[in-house]
Amino acid sequence: MLERTIKLQKLEVLIIDEELAVPKSVGGRAVRALADELTSRDIEVVEAASYHDGRSVFLSDASIDAILIDWTTREGKDKKSRAEALDLLRTIRSRNATVPIMLMADQAARDDLTVEVMQLTDEYVWLHADTIPFIASRVMAAIQRYQRNILPPFNRALLSYMNLAEYSWAAPGHQGGVAFTKTPAGRIFFDFFGENLFRADTGIERGGLGSLLEHSGPIGEAEAYAARVFGAHRSYSGLTGTSGANRTIFAAAVGDGQFALCDRNCHKSIEQGLILSGGIPAFLVPTRNRYGIIGPILPEEFEPKAIRAKLAAHPLRSHAVKPDPVYAVVTNSTYDGLCYDSAHVEALLGKTVDRIHLDEAWFGYARFNPIYENRFAMRGDPKAHKESDPTVFSTQSTHKLLAALSQSSYIHIRDGRNPIEHSRFNVSYMAQTTTSPLYALIASNEIGASMMDGPSGKALTDEVIEEAVSFRQTLARAHREFARKKDWFFWPWNAPKVKDPKTGKNVTFADADLQQLITDPECWVLHPGEKWHGFDGLPDGWCMLDPIKVGIVCPGMGDDGEMQASGIPAPVLSAYLHHFGNIPSRTTDHMVLCLFSIGITKGKWGTLMSVLLDFKDDYDANRPLVECLPDLVAEAPRVYGGMGLRDLADKMFRHMKESRAGQLQAQAFCVLPEPQMLPRRANGMLMAGEAELLPVEELANRVAGVGIIPYPPGIPIVLPGENFGPADGPWLSYIRALEDWGQTFPGFEKEVEGTVVVDGAYQAWAIKE
Ligand X SMILES: *Cc1c(COP(=O)(O)O)cnc(C)c1O
Residue 313: which residues within 8 A CB-CB, separation 6 or more? none
Q: Which of 198, 102, 91 is nearest to 146 (CA)?
A: 102
Residue number, 35 or 595, with CB nearest to ligand X? 595
Helix (H) or strand (E) holding 339: strand 338-340
Q: Is 241 in the site for ligand X (CB under 6 A)?
A: yes
**By the rule CB under 6 A, 359 interacts with ligand X:** yes
* Shortest spacing between CB 27 and ligand X, in angstroms: 55
Q: Which is nearer to ligand X, 202 or 332 (CB)?
A: 332
Q: How many amino acids of this chain bind ligand X (CB under 6 A)?
A: 12
Cβ closest to ligand X, residue 15 vs residue 294: 294
Instruction: Pick one of 99, 349, 361, 767: the residue that binds ligand X (CB under 6 A).
Output: 361
Per DSSP bridges, beta strands 66-71 and 101-105 are: parallel
**DSSP state for residue 203 in the 8-state scheme:** -
91-99, 237-245, 373-381, 727-735 -> range binding ligand X (CB under 6 A): 237-245
Q: Does 202 bind ligand X (CB under 6 A)?
A: no
Minimum CB separation of residue 549 from ligand X in Å reads 12
Of the candidate spans 150-158, 355-363, 378-386, 704-712, the one that interacts with ligand X by CB under 6 A turns out to be 355-363
Among 287, 397, 450, 587, which residue interacts with ligand X (rule: CB under 6 A)?
Answer: 397
Per-residue b or e along 555-576, where b marks 16 or more CB atoms closer than 10 Å to that residue's CB: ebbeeeeebeeebbbbbbbbbb
| C-alpha 558 chain-centroid distance | 31
How far is 262 from 139, CA to CA, in rounded Å?
57
497-527 burial, b if ≥16 CB within 10 A, otherwise e?
Answer: bbbbeeeeeeeebbebeeebbbbbbebbbbe
Stretch 284-313 residues interacting with ligand X (CB under 6 A): none
3-state per-residue secondary structure call for 423-453 = HHHHHHHHHCCCCCCCHHHHHHHHHHHHHHC
Measure the CA–CA gap between 113 and 124, rounded to whole angstroms.
10
Distance between CA 96 and CA 373 in Å, rounded? 23
CB count within 10 Å of CB 764 equals 26
Cβ closer to ligand X: 550 or 563? 550
φ, ψ of residue 306 in degrees (nearest 5): -65, -40
Interface with ligand X, residue 337, by CB under 6 A: no
Nearer to ligand X, 202 or 397 (CB): 397
Residues in 206-225 that interact with ligand X by CB under 6 A: none
Q: Smaller CB distance to ligand X: residue 237 or 397?
A: 397
Q: How far is the CB of 409 from ligand X (least distance, A)?
A: 5
Rounded least distance, CB 362 to ligand X, Å: 6
Type and span of the H or E element at 659: helix 645-659
Taking Cα atoms as reference points, which of 583, 652, 537, 533 lies closest to residue 294?
A: 533
Identity of the residue, 331 or 445, whose beta carbon is nearer to ligand X in the bound complex: 331
Element (H, E) at 244: helix 241-253
Q: Which residues contact 562 (CB under 8 A, 6 or more apart)?
A: none
Sheet holding 586-587, edge to edge: 491-492, 549-553, 591-595, 586-587
Q: Residue 591: is it exposed, middle or buried by C-beta count within 10 angstroms (0-12/13-18/19+)?
A: buried
Closest distance between ligand X and the C-beta of residue 712, in Å?
12
Helix, strand, coil in percent for the chain, rounding step 5: 45, 15, 40
Name the segment binding ligand X (CB under 6 A); options: 25-33, 239-247, 608-616, 720-728.
239-247
**Residue 269 CB, nearest distance to ligand X (Å)?**
5
Cα-based torsion angle of the residue sequence 401, 404, 405, 406 in order, rounded to the nearest 10 degrees:
-30
Residue among 155, 248, 289, 409 that touches ligand X (CB under 6 A): 409
Q: Nearer Cβ to ligand X, position 269 or 287?
A: 269
**Contact between 331 and ligand X (CB under 6 A)?**
yes
Only segment of 193-201, 240-248, 479-487, 636-644 that touches ligand X (CB under 6 A): 240-248
Among 121, 243, 369, 428, binds ligand X (CB under 6 A): 243
- Least distance between ligand X and beta carbon 392 (Å): 16
Pick the closer one to ligand X by CB: 134 or 711.
711
Give the nearer residue to ligand X in terms of CB position, either 196 or 240. 240
How far apart are CB 711 and ligand X at their closest, in Å?
11
* φ/ψ of residue 470, rounded to 5: -60, -40
- Closer of 366 and 495 to ligand X (Cβ): 366
**Spatial distance between the Cα atoms of 413 and 426, rounded to a whole number of angstroms:** 13
Cβ neighbours for 97, distance < 8 A, ≥ 6 positions apart: 454, 455
> How far out from the chain centre does Cα 160 lie?
31
Q: How far is the CB of 398 from ligand X (least distance, A)?
A: 8
Q: What is the nearest approach in angstroms of ligand X to the Cβ of residue 411?
A: 12
Nearer to ligand X, 362 or 425 (CB): 362
- In the complex with ligand X, which residue's Cβ is closer, 397 or 461? 397
99 and 145 in contact (C-beta within 8 Å)?
no
Single residue of 154, 283, 362, 524 touching ligand X by CB under 6 A: 362
Handedness of CA 480, 482, 488, 490 (dihedral sign): negative
Q: Which residue among 96, 235, 237, 246 contacts ligand X (CB under 6 A)?
A: 246
- Stretch near ligand X under the rule CB under 6 A, chosen from 7-15, 173-181, 293-301, 356-364: 356-364
Q: Quick one: 655 exposed, middle or buried, by C-beta within 10 A (0-12, 13-18, 19+)?
A: middle
- The nearer residue to ligand X, 287 or 470, going by C-beta atoms, is 287
716 binds ligand X (CB under 6 A): no
CA-angle at 695, arms to 689 and 701, nearest 5°: 80
Which of 206/375 has CB closer to ligand X? Answer: 375
Q: With CB under 6 A as the contact rule, which of the stretches 160-168, 221-229, 357-365, 367-375 interacts with ligand X?
A: 357-365
> Mask of contacts with ligand X, 627-666, x by CB under 6 A?
----------------------------------------
Residue with Cβ nearer ligand X (285 or 476) = 285
Q: How far is the CB of 339 from ligand X (least distance, A)?
A: 12
Which of 95, 156, 206, 267 touches ligand X (CB under 6 A)?
267
Residues 118-157 that bind ligand X (CB under 6 A): none
For position 444 contacting ligand X by CB under 6 A, the verdict is no
Residues 65-84 that bind ligand X (CB under 6 A): none
Binding segment for ligand X among 238-246, 465-473, 635-643, 730-738 (CB under 6 A)?
Answer: 238-246
Say how many residues make up the chain. Answer: 769
Please compute, for residue 594, the number of CA atoms within 13 A of its CA located in the half-sphere on the CB side: 29
Q: Rounded to the nearest whole angstrom, what is the least distance from the CB of residue 523 to ligand X in the complex?
A: 25
Nearest residue to ligand X on Cβ basis: 241
Among 258, 269, 277, 723, binds ligand X (CB under 6 A): 269
Of the candidate spans 133-141, 236-244, 343-351, 428-436, the one that interacts with ligand X by CB under 6 A turns out to be 236-244
248, 235 contact by CB (below 8 A): no
CA dihedral 173, 176, 179, 180 (to 10 degrees): 120
* Pairwise CA distance, residues 402 & 451, whole Å: 9
Interface residues toward ligand X, by CB under 6 A: 241-243, 246, 267, 269, 331, 359, 361-362, 397, 409
